[in-house]
Structure 1
Amino acid sequence: MIEDAKAARRREIVEVAFREFAEKGYAGASMGAIARRARASKETLYAWFGNKETLLLEVFASRLEGMTARVGQVPSDDPQPARVLPIAAENLVGFLLATAPLVQGLGVSGPDDQAMRLLREAIQAQRQNFVAYLERCRAHGDIAFDDDPFEIASLFVAMAEGEWALRLSTGMVSEITPAMIREHAERVTRIFLRGLAP
């Protein structure tokens, strides 16, 4: 029971850290500000997360886990691409929109190379899982392609990413609603599956 409370508190602090990083950027956020906002001590933050870089990685990891959790909830007896891919596209857009404020300005004063390497590895692992899923779909005859599976996965990701950041920054849209993301994900899936029809 104590472990559950500690895990819940840790998740709560990660959410507070996400908001702090999103509002102030990596350079502007501090462990002290996050601790105050989370009503925790700086000592707790340093004991649990080590440093600001590790805490940022934890924030990204929580978003990656959230992104894949919905896909994992699709019943294994119906892992059809027409059912899984819209969820994957929605999650990808949600992840990109949620993490966009976190990555702005990371270049100069962002996490160290080791922290970014760990983040890249986590993203690469998600990409490999998606490639494996596409290969299983091909083996089951649900889709057909002769190209490199990583290229096919990259194509889907690029289609799902769309131009959301550009639309927001140029005022083409004032907000992006869940309904807009869902419609986009369904459209992307239809086009993608049409191109990979067996």
Structure 2
Amino acid sequence: MREENRSLRQKQIEVAAYELLEQKGYAGTSMQGIARKARASNETLYNWYGDKLGLFRALVTRNAAEVKALLEAELTAERDGLAILALLGPRLLALLLGDRAIALNRAAAADPSGELGAALSQAGRDSVFPLIVRTLERARTEGELSFAHADAAAGLYLDLLVGDLQIRRVIGRLPALSDAFCQERSERAIGHLRRLLS
């Protein structure tokens, strides 16, 4: 299959997977159901993703890819730490609070097996968090921030940036957020971080 055809097919499969996830939850979503909705063969899904968990792990990985790529590029480009956080904050909020991430988190919360939650953590947070730690370590090296433990500082940054917004979105108590809100929230988080870790 040519690359552009495969990419189009993967997008159709992703759309179908998210739709079924929202309708039926993780336990009620099957590879066969996704294949039928995407008008793909079961064989294609199993060949590409291995199993249902593999498919959803691929969705989480793709969802986090933009933020991970941004951090990797900025760290390579030697941009200063707080400038990287200024670029990261709005994009990270858009990722974590976007419809796809919310659908995945709702399904993970309702999945008694814990499979989806583990996949979310591994392919999402666990791949991005070390890059946030490196960004904060750079800010410390540059004298912009002062802290003893980089992991704790990164956790503080995420607390200031995200707070309870994600859980409020997951339980339906907060509508989708605007780009302007995400930008303002990011700037405020950096301001608080500077005051707390100066």
8 Å Cα contact 2:17/2:34 also seen in 1 = yes
Question: Structure 2: where are the runs of 5+ without partners?
Answer: none
- Corresponding residue for residue 124 of structure 1: 126
- Corresponding residue for residue 9 of structure 2: 9
- Tell me, yes or no, if structure 1 residue 18 matches structure 2 residue 26: no
8 Å Cα contact 1:131/1:149 also seen in 2 = yes
Structure 1 residue 65: Cα displacement: 0.9
Indicate how the Cα distance of structure 1 residues 37 and 69 shifts in structure 2: closer, same or farther if over 3 A, else same: farther
Q: Distance between the aligned counterparts of 2:78 and 2:12, measured in 1?
A: 34
Indicate how the Cα distance of structure 1 residues 22 and 84 shifts in structure 2: closer, same or farther if over 3 A, else same: farther
Structure 1 residue 136: Cα displacement: 2.0
Structure 1 residue 150: Cα displacement: 0.4
Q: Distance between the aligned counterparts of 1:193 and 1:12, measured in 2?
A: 43
Residues paired across the two proteins, number: 192
Q: TM-score, normalised by structure 1?
A: 0.79
- Corresponding residue for residue 178 of structure 2: 177
Between 3-12 and 90-99, the greater mean CA deviation after superposition? 3-12
- Tell me, yes or no, if structure 1 residue 111 matches structure 2 residue 108: no
One-letter amino acid of the counterpart of residue 17, structure 1: A
Alignment of 1:36-75 (within 5 A): 36-72=36-72, 74=74
Q: Distance between the aligned counterparts of 1:86 and 1:196, measured in 2?
A: 16
- Corresponding residue for residue 137 of structure 2: 135
Indicate how the Cα distance of structure 1 residues 23 and 85 shifts in structure 2: closer, same or farther if over 3 A, else same: farther
Structure 1 residue 157: Cα displacement: 0.7
Question: Structure 1: where are the runs of 5+ without partners?
Answer: none
Q: Distance between the aligned counterparts of 2:184 and 2:80, measured in 1?
A: 19
Q: Distance between the aligned counterparts of 1:37 and 1:46, measured in 2?
A: 15
Q: Distance between the aligned counterparts of 1:15 and 1:60, measured in 2?
A: 13
Structure 1's consecutive aligned runs of 4 or more residues displaced over 6 angstroms after TM superposition are: none
8 Å Cα contact 2:145/2:194 also seen in 1 = yes
Indicate how the Cα distance of structure 1 residues 67 and 188 shifts in structure 2: closer, same or farther if over 3 A, else same: same
Indicate how the Cα distance of structure 1 residues 189 and 79 shifts in structure 2: closer, same or farther if over 3 A, else same: same
Residue by residue over 1:104-136, the C-alpha shift from the partner in whole angstroms, topping out at 9 and shown as x without a partner, is: 234414527xx92x6544432321221122112
One-letter amino acid of the counterpart of residue 185, structure 2: H
One-letter amino acid of the counterpart of residue 140, structure 2: R
Task: Kindly report the root-mean-square deviation, in angstroms, between the aligned alpha carbons of the 2 structures.
Answer: 2.9
Residue by residue over 1:156-198, the C-alpha shift from the partner in whole angstroms, topping out at 9 and shown as x without a partner, is: 0111112224555575x5442222112111111122123333x
- Tell me, yes or no, if structure 1 residue 91 matches structure 2 residue 95: no
Q: Any idea what SS the aligned residue of 1:108 has?
A: coil
Percent of residue pairs identical? 28
- Corresponding residue for residue 100 of structure 1: 102
Q: TM-score, normalised by structure 2?
A: 0.79
Between 148-157 and 174-183, the greater mean CA deviation after superposition? 174-183
Q: Distance between the aligned counterparts of 2:94 and 2:194, measured in 1?
A: 21
